[in-house]
């Protein structure tokens, strides 16, 4: 059991923190765009700050009356009038949970919220923690600054080993974890610069490899893993294929790493099968399940998300049942302009999983206990 400090007072929000005008799509679209936080529109100007929902109702009104203990409202059931959205739940459905994968401004891609806004929304829902991820810069320092600005939420960061950080560069990892505050806890192997990613996307003939032609982990990757093991950092497999991820997990265990996560294991760029997930779990790795996968597919409102298959929640729930909740962590991979905020996305994922029969206890395991141990244990 992991004990965490309680978060700030819950203020139900039902509207996004800000409205955004979309800019035209980047003209350099790859032949086969791959989704995740790395693929989408340019930064755009923010134009309108929306108002918060009013806090509560007039005393004495029917809506003001608090439900008795054990009523459906307290357990999160929908009690809204048919055809309308339900009232704000009295208890945040994502209270105490951790989002292992968020993207915020400033960034090289359009983001719906900045670091402080993302953290504020998470704190307002009484979440325990969020992990900031950038494909091109450190986030360990940004986690320190956002913690200074926003109370009631833990924020962690790290480094993604793309070309911007020198690829598989152990020095980047060494300086990342030394950042003041000690909030830099995560090392992602290459994402949009990964060999697997660029070959699938057709954006370059080759990218950063972690495994050679014979299936051996490259020395540079082992050098990174040695630092991760010594400093007990979380190793995220990035955009390696499912097969490559298994090889990397094996090498990570050999190096002494005991905190390993397969980045959005279900997304098509990784494409882990259930059998591969079982193998990864047997090796001690956890698989990340991300809310963004519910929003992709041909019907997606955002053009750049139509090129990747949707990850059906039914399939995710089946995976959890088959492999075991103790082998997963929850994240969103959200923060892009035009998408739900990470806090909204996590709430959406949790509600959808519960509707598919995943229990609240399993949500706590995947959304709190397992990620909490990885980040703070």
**Phi and psi for 153 in degrees, rounded to 5?**
-150, 140
Nearer to Zn ion, 229 or 349 (CB): 349
Question: What stretch of H or E contains 120?
Answer: helix 115-124
Number of Cβ atoms within 10 Å of the Cβ of 205 = 8
Choice between 20 and 36, CB closer to Zn ion:
36
Angle subtended at Cα 106 by Cα 102 and Cα 108, rounded to the nearest 5 degrees = 90
CA atoms within 13 A on the CB side of 140: 23
Closest CA to 245 of 262, 266, 226: 262
Cβ closer to Zn ion: 135 or 222? 135
Q: Tell which residue, 236, 230, 137, has the closest CA to residue 189.
A: 236
Question: Which helix (H) or strand (E) covers residue 48, if one does?
Answer: strand 46-49
Nearer to Zn ion, 152 or 371 (CB): 371
| Minimum separation from the CB atom of position 316 to Zn ion (A) | 16
Name which of 36 and 104 has its Cβ closer to Zn ion: 36
In the complex, minimum distance from the CB of residue 239 to Zn ion, in angstroms, rounded to a whole number? 6
Q: Which is nearer to Zn ion, 13 or 156 (CB)?
A: 156
Which residues bind to Zn ion, rule: CB under 5 A?
36
Q: Provide the minimum distance between the beta carbon of 89 and Zn ion in the complex, in angstroms, as a whole number.
A: 30
Output the smallest distance, CB 317 to Zn ion, in A: 22
Nearer to Zn ion, 36 or 246 (CB): 36
Query: Taking phi first (over 0 means left), then psi (-120 to 50 degrees means alpha), and beta for anything else, what does residue 36 get?
Result: left
- Chain residue whose CB lies nearest Zn ion: 36
Nearest approach, Cβ of residue 236 and Zn ion (Å): 9
Alpha-carbon Rg for the chain in angstroms: 20
For residues 65-84, one letter each, b for 16 or more C-beta atoms within 10 angstroms of the residue's C-beta and e for the rest, the string is eeeeeeeebeebeeeeeeee
Determine phi and psi for 33, rounding to 5 degrees. -60, 140
Nearest approach, Cβ of 93 to Zn ion (angstroms)? 25
From the CB of 188, what's the least distance to Zn ion, in Å?
8
Per DSSP bridges, beta strands 46-49 and 18-20 are: antiparallel
């Amino acid at each position: 059991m992991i004990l965490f400090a309680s978060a700030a007072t819950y203020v139900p929000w039902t509207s996004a923190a800000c409205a955004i005008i979309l800019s035209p799509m980047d003209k350099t679209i790859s032949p086969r765009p791959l989704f995740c936080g790395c693929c989408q529109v340019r930064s755009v100007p923010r134009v309108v700050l929306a108002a918060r929902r009013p806090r509560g109702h007039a005393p004495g009104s029917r809506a003001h009356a608090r439900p008795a203990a054990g009523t459906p409202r307290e357990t999160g059931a929908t009690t809204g009038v048919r055809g309308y959205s339900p009232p704000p739940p009295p208890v945040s459905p994502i209270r105490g949970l951790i989002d292992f994968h968020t993207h915020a401004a400033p960034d090289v891609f359009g983001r719906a919220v900045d670091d402080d806004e993302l953290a504020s929304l998470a704190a307002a829902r009484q979440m325990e923690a969020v992990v900031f991820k950038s494909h091109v810069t450190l986030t360990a320092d940004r986690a320190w600054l956002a913690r200074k600005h926003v109370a009631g939420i833990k924020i962690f960061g790290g480094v993604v080993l793309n070309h911007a950080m020198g690829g598989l560069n152990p020095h980047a990892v060494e300086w990342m974890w030394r950042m003041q505050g000690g909030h830099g806890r995560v090392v992602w192997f290459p994402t949009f610069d990964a060999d697997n990613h660029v070959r699938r996307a057709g954006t370059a003939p080759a990218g950063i490899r972690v495994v050679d032609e014979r299936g051996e982990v490259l020395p540079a990757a082992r050098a990174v893993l040695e630092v991760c093991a010594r400093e007990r950092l979380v190793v995220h497999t990035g955009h390696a294929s499912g097969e490559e991820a298994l090889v990397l997990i094996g090498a990570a265990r050999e190096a002494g790493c005991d905190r390993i996560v397969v980045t959005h294991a279900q997304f098509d760029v990784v494409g882990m099968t259930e059998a591969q997930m079982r193998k990864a779990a047997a090796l001690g790795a956890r698989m990340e399940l991300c809310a963004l996968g519910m929003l992709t597919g041909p019907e997606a409102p955002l053009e750049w998300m139509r090129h990747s298959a949707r990850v059906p929640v039914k399939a995710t729930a089946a995976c959890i049942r088959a492999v075991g909740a103790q082998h997963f962590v929850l994240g969103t991979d959200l923060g892009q302009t035009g998408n739900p905020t990470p806090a909204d996305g996590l709430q959406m994922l949790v509600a959808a999983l519960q509707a598919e029969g995943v229990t609240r206890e399993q949500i706590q395991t995947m959304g709190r206990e397992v990620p909490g141990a990885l980040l703070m244990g």
